[in-house]
Amino acid sequence: MRRSEFLRAVDTEFQARATSLVNDLGLTALRGRTAVEALADGTPPREIWLALCAEMDVPADRRYGVGRQEPRKR
């Protein structure tokens, strides 16, 4: 998962709360760091996404494969 895919996935899943969650929510799995802090520390976006999903009780079927853009048509 790339950073852009992470941000797209967060926006899609959490909509209006997305910015607040990545900036303010301390994630247990990331030793209390926020998503923004973890990104700045070099934590892989996929690890942050899964930690955020666990913290917010996102169902497993909505955790994988999100954030990807549809392939361009030729």
Domain boundaries, the chain: 3-62
Residue with tokens 């853009």: 69
Q: How many CB atoms lie within 10 A of CB 44?
A: 14
Three-state SS sequence of the chain: CCHHHHHHHHHHHHHHHHHHHHHHCCCHHHCCCCHHHHHHCCCCHHHHHHHHHHHCCCCHHHCCCCCCCCCCCC
Q: Can you give the pLDDT at residue 1?
A: 86
Predicted confidence (pLDDT) at residue 19 exceeds the cutoff of 60: yes
- C-alpha–C-alpha distance, residues 74 and 66, integer Å: 23
Residue with tokens 């303010």: 24
pLDDT in tens, 30-71: 999 999 999 999 999 999 999 999 999 999 888 886 666 665
Q: Can you give the pLDDT at residue 63?
A: 84
* pTM over the 0.95 mark: no
